[in-house]
Every structure is written in C-alpha cells, then in structure tokens.
Amino acid sequence: MKRNRSVSYALLIGTAAVLGLLLLRIGAAPAPSLAVEFLRNRLTYLYVFTVTAVVFLAVGYVFGRKIDQFRRLATTDALTALGNRRAFLDRLGDECRRAERYGCALSLLLIDIDGLKRVNDQQGHAAGDQALRMAAHAIKTTMRATDIGARWGGDEFAIVAPSTARREAKRLAQRLLGQVIRQARDVPFTVSVGVSTFEPHRDPVPSVDSLLNSADAALLRAKGAGRNQVQAVWEVLSSP
C-alpha cells in the first residue's frame, strides 16, 4: 500500500511535468509550425520529455515516501512501534461502525503491565522501557492478522479484535498472558487484561465509549483480584 501510494505520486508529478512542457511549447508557437518542428526535432523532444519525466518521477516517488513516513510517525508509538492512542481510537471507531452495520462481533482488550513503577524504581527506566517493548512484542506475536494493537498510554496497551466473540476473545487474552511470561525473561513482569465484547442480538449497539468503559471495568477487577489474569466484562456483570 505504501509503495503504491509513492508510485502514484511519482506518476502524477511526472505526467504533470510533461504535460506542462507541452502546454508551454504549444502556447509559444502556432499549431502548424509546432507540428513541423516536432517532426523535425522529434528525437530532441523525446529526450527532453523523457529526462523531465524521469526526474519528476523520482521527485514524486521520494515525495510519496516522505508523506508515508510522516503519516507513520504521526500514528505510531516511538518506543514500541505499535499504533498510538489517536490511531487506535480511529480504528476502534471504524470497527464499531462496521460491527453495527454488518452485525458482526467485536472485542476489545485493555492490557496493563503489572508493577511497572516497581521495575522503574528498582531497575531503572531503561528496564521499564525494555518491559514496555517486550510487552509490545508479546502483543504483536499474539495478535492475528485482522487484530489491531496499540500503546494506549503509559503502561497500558489495547487490542481491538474484529469478528471476535466472547470465547475467542478470552482465549486471545489468555494466550497473551502466556506469551508475556515467555517474553519477560531479563525483566520479569506480568500483565492484567480486561475484555469487553459486542455480540449481535445479545449486546447493545457498540460504541467506542461503551467498549472502553466495559473493558476498563474488567481490567480494574483483574488488577484487584491479584493481577496476572484475565477478566471479562460479562463475568464482571454476572458476579454477585
């Protein structure tokens, strides 16, 4: 996708440059004499147009790549290389609308690193950053191709899992816990996960706020119940 966008910019700018040269030349001479001149000096014109097109194709390609780079920097968390909060909210909103329109399930996981402040205090902020990167790697390893992961902020992460019902979402969260334990060797840590899910014909129409609030309530319960575990919103609501 990024490469195609760069090529599109290159073709657009290169074509515009050649057309610009043609329009300038047409405006500078009468049509009959211009046609004769083109035929007489066709190799020269072909060379000029080719060189111009190649130069501007290169400029357009570089321009497209720079735009892709700036867009990526604006939507990516620098430390973990996951999406940032703003990009995640945009995607979550898109998935909520898609789930409502097509009547498909949608799940949200909020993930919190247990005791990151203790890691920072005892081992230094470099160790804390390493824990964040390892958590991000565990999330990338656990996610499926259709899932979207992000650093939600501070020591929190999030995953939106389209077309994922309750049981599959709970299994995804449990796999993440195991993956974190395997990743966290040099800086041992665990995570707590709160899960909220929209299922058609069972839950109200999904919204960004409703999914976030539900997942946050489940996450708080996971933290309060001893951490290093998964809690789901439907379990929170059904508990006494």
Q: Where are the domains of the chain?
A: 2-75, 85-238
- Asked if 218 and 236 touch (Cβ cutoff 8 Å), the reply is yes
- pTM listed for this prediction: 0.72
22 CB-contact burial (10 Å; exposed 0-12 / middle 13-18 / buried 19+) = middle
- Asked if 83 and 140 touch (Cβ cutoff 8 Å), the reply is no
CA distance 113 to 188: 11
In tens digits, the chain (240 residues) has pLDDT values of 444 555 555 555 555 555 555 555 554 545 555 555 556 666 666 666 676 666 666 666 666 666 656 566 578 999 999 999 999 999 999 999 999 999 999 999 999 999 899 999 999 999 999 999 999 999 999 999 999 999 999 999 999 999 999 999 999 999 999 999 888 877 889 999 999 999 998 888 889 999 999 999 999 999 999 999 999 987 755 554
- Asked if 151 and 139 touch (Cβ cutoff 8 Å), the reply is no
Q: Check: CATH 3.40.50.300 for 85-238?
A: no
- DSSP helix/strand/coil, 163: coil
Residue with tokens 């069972």: 202
The amino acid at residue 103 is G
From the CB of residue 171, how many other CB atoms can be counted at a distance below 10 Å?
A: 12
What per-residue confidence (pLDDT) applies to 113? 96
CA distance 86 to 97: 17
CA 181 to chain centre: 25
90 CB-contact burial (10 Å; exposed 0-12 / middle 13-18 / buried 19+) = middle
CA distance 78 to 106: 27
